[in-house]
Amino acid sequence: PGSAADLTVRDIGELCGALYQTVTEFSTADQTVEELPELIQAIGTLDPLDELTVMRNENLVLLEHLGLELSDSAPNLPTDLRLRSIEEIAARLLGLGAVFSWVSASESLIPRTAILGAIKSRDLERFVSREEREVLAVSRSEASQNFSRTIGWKLEYAWPLAWVLGFETEPTVDVKHIDALTSRQIIQQFLQNMQHNVESLTDRSVLRSNDQVVRIYDLLLCAQHAIELNGWASGGNLTPEQRLRQAKVVYQRRMALLWCLTPGLAWDDLASKRFIDSQTEA
């Protein structure tokens, strides 16, 4: 192709391979970048839509290596995704940490005063969902008795938010829940057992780039779509309900990133953004 406009989806895989081979050959021959063929010029003039196409292709290759059965009907990625403020992301992560700790952490590890103090900082209640306020409204013992079996799902939301703020471990494509080690690292180390407020967490965070977050969001979007359509390593024998259950972990991680990438979207409104057999995510 001589320009970005000439590139089609079918060209992308061959183009990437050709680019790698070309760069390798010219490096071996001690040639300069200016001498590379028009292929590199085409890459350099890609518009944002072309860049999203390349990214999507790379993500599909990763998912194929994981053994997922892919589909051409994966929803298109919105082109206007942009990160909301670091303060909002930090506040929501603290809210999730607070409600999880209220149910699951012992008083000796994370005292009641630390959790309530975090909630009251910078009007943090605005970043706690309606359902989570109901959990915090009862005593810790009652919350543990009533919600201990389901509260772990909050960590599936917390992990992507922590990663956006600089937590090292990247959210994965999986049907399994977050592991115990990663959970402890988020609550006990990254959130320092709820000793942070919004200001201190923001100060120590390193916000990832918009491109980094969009890339992982797209990976999870395609993974969710593939699992819901075909299941994970199922041989096509799962019912639609079983496939939806398999996709729930990826779905929750994806929705946390969607919230990060959609300024103005209320957390309680995330459920309306779930795609069902749709080419474009609403």
Residue 26 pLDDT grade (very low, low, confident, very high; cuts 50, 70, 90)? very low
Nearest to 117 by CA among 130, 134, 101, 138: 101
pTM above 0.85, yes or no: no
Q: What is the mean pLDDT of residues 76-99?
A: 94
| Residue-range domain boundaries for the chain | 1-46, 86-204
Mean pLDDT of 59-67: 92
Q: Report how far apart, in Å, the C-alpha atoms of 224 and of each of 79, 98, 112, 147, 230 are.
A: 19, 28, 37, 26, 10
Average pLDDT over residues 183-200: 94
pLDDT at 122: 62
- pLDDT value at 106 more than 60: yes
* Interatomic CA distance for residues 182 and 185, integer angstroms: 5
Q: What is the pLDDT of residues 107-124, one digit of tens each?
A: 999 999 989 888 876 667
- The per-residue pLDDT for range 233-271, each reduced to its tens digit, is 755 678 888 888 889 999 999 999 999 999 999 998 886
Top pLDDT among 48 and 120 is at 120
CB-neighbour burial class of residue 254 (10 A; exposed 0-12, middle 13-18, buried 19+): buried
pLDDT of residue 272: 59
Who has greater pLDDT, 12 or 108?
108
Q: What phi and psi values does residue 189 have, to the nearest 5 degrees?
A: -105, -55
Confidence of residue 145 (pLDDT cuts 50, 70, 90): very high
3-state secondary structure 80-142: CCCCCCHHHHHHHHHHHHHHHHHHHCCCCCCCHHHHHHHHHHHHHHHHCCHHHHHHHCCCHHH
Helices (H), 33-82: 38-44, 48-65
User: What is the pLDDT at residue 36?
Assistant: 46
